[in-house]
Copies of this chain bind each other. A is one copy, B any other.
Amino acid sequence: MLQSRLFSKTLRDAPKDEETANAKLLVRAGYVDKLMAGAYSYMPLGVRVLKKIEQVVREEMDAMGGQEVLMPMLHPKANWQATGGWDSIDVLFKIKSRTEKEYALGQSEEEVVTPLVMSRIQTYKDLPVAVYQIHWKFRDELRAKSGLLRGREFFMKDMYSFHESQEDFDRFYGVAKQAYLKVFERLGLVAKVTEASGGSFSEKISYEFMVLTDAGEDDILYCDACEFCVNAEIAKQKEKDACPKCGPPNGEARPKGGKGSLTKARASEVGNVFDLGQKYGKDFDLAFMDREGKRQYPVMGCYGIGISRLMGVLAEKFHDESGLLWPHAVAPFDVHLLRLGSTSAKAAADEQGTSSSPKASTVAKALADETEGHSTGSEVYQDLQAAGLTVLYDERAVSAGQKFADADLIGIPWRAILSPKTGDKIEVKRRGSDDVKLVSVSEFVKMLVS
């Protein structure tokens, strides 16, 4: 895409009403625009990142046997009354039609998915079933101030599984845990799995997938030697205690190599699993025939991954003082190609003084045909795209300094510079690295595609 035509412009300064790094950077770099607290518009760059995260999640859910569905966001009041949520869930948005019909706006979908799935289940042989959707949800939050981390309206993957027994849920949870860890690994994150209370959903233990970040809303205690991790809210331990899993405190025999102690850290929840037990089957009185021929309620699990929240967490994790550093898997483009113009282009840009100047942009178009004997920007742009790479091509007639600053802010993994000095080659470097290389276009393609 030509940057002069991109409907997203960088801002010199961070918006004053944003407190968190993700919101400041995503707004400044032109990924999102705030409509009101807790509700953002996604600009073209932001849509690209959101869809990349969505697709990674979809692939892993499909791979573990989940089947994609889409359920309505308007829910009948009766379904929420059946489960008690209508009166007990304070973040539930309620809405009344002009004929006085009442609805809830979906903030979780047990109330819809339970009747949907159970109407198609006769016996234990139809189980297990796992369906998921990637859809928008609403929460009537009192405060929504952490950018994409806590929205009144947010994009989420929610999966629901149905089992004939607790054992089968436990087995399936193991499969889901691995799929979740793979999702986060593909996104460049290391997630820790904690146990926490089940919140409003369940009295059972739930599992949270946490990523360490200063912008997080939770404190976790994690072992520096094994995978033990617990939400500090419900932990029986405190910081610097021996790990209860690999380094028991009471002089008991330690597992081989076990010597962990606990570290406390701020973390952000990027996924969760709730063991719902038989609550929802019972609430709706929807059962199946078990192996003994008796009516039985299904054991259900609920598995969430916040897609828009992940975008915020990635921005929190991957940035420096100059801007964003997207992991390749979610970057809006593979390559940011910068054409550094002739002196006249620079002069025009300096004269205008802003990156969004339309006059400078017009000059850039006039300068599109460059000195013979060099690669032209549009040739390189086309060659990179022909090799299957997605490219944001900065052909604007603004100063080199402005282009560098915008490239750092936008945070595309590879920057490629074409200038009179680079001749037939391009000068490439990774965002966040100082290691600059002068290579041919085909060498560059090999570096990226291999």
Task: Give chain A's interface residues, CB within 8 Å of chain B.
Answer: 5-7, 9, 33, 35-36, 39-44, 46-47, 50, 65, 67-76, 90, 93-95, 97-99, 105, 112, 116-117, 119-120, 122-123, 125-126, 129, 131, 136, 138, 140, 142, 152-153, 356, 358-359, 361-362
Contacts and interface: CB of A to CB of B under 8 A. Distances in A.
A73 B39 CA distance: 9
A69 B90 contact: no
A125 B397 CA distance: 15
Total copies of the chain? 2
28 contacts: A7-B67, A7-B131, A33-B116, A36-B72, A39-B72, A40-B72, A41-B69, A41-B112, A41-B116, A43-B69, A44-B68, A46-B70, A47-B69, A50-B70, A72-B153, A73-B73, A73-B136, A74-B138, A93-B95, A95-B95, A95-B105, A97-B140, A98-B140, A98-B142, A122-B358, A123-B358, A125-B362, A126-B358
Given A41-B69, A41-B116, A74-B152, 18 more contacts: A6-B67, A35-B75, A35-B112, A35-B116, A36-B76, A41-B71, A43-B69, A46-B70, A47-B70, A50-B70, A90-B98, A93-B97, A94-B95, A98-B140, A122-B356, A125-B358, A125-B359, A126-B358
Contacts of A9: 120
A120 B6 CA distance: 11
A72 B41 contact: yes
Contact of A41 (B46, B70, B126): B70
A229 to B, nearest CB: 33
A33 to B, nearest CB: 6
| 9 nearest CB pairs, A to B | A125-B358, A39-B72, A42-B70, A7-B67, A41-B71, A44-B67, A95-B95, A47-B68, A97-B140
Nearest to A119: B33
A125 B360 CA distance: 10
Given A41-B112, A43-B69, A140-B98, A153 B74 contact: yes
Contacts of A6: 67
Contacts of A105: 95
Residue of A50, A68, A74, A152 ringed by the most chain B CB atoms within 10 A:
A74
Contacts of A47: 68-70
Nearest to A134: B47
Contacts of A41: 69-72, 112, 116
A39 B7 contact: no
Given A47-B70, A74-B152, A74-B153, A7 B95 contact: no
Contacts of A43: 69
A26 to B, nearest CB: 13
A72 to B, nearest CB: 4
A16 to B, nearest CB: 15
A257 to B, nearest CB: 42
Given A41-B116, A98-B140, A359-B125, A71 B35 contact: yes
Nearest to A95: B95
Contacts of A44: 67-69, 131
Residue of A72, A112, A125 ringed by the most chain B CB atoms within 10 A:
A72
Contacts of A99: 142
A117 B129 CA distance: 44
A44 B7 CA distance: 34
Nearest to A79: B35
Contacts of A72: 35-36, 39-41, 153
A69 B7 contact: yes
A129 B67 CA distance: 38
Nearest to A359: B125
Contacts of A68: 44, 47
A51 to B, nearest CB: 9
Contacts of A35: 71-72, 75-76, 112, 116
A162 to B, nearest CB: 10
A232 B116 CA distance: 41
A52 to B, nearest CB: 13
Contacts of A112: 35, 41
Contacts of A93: 95, 97
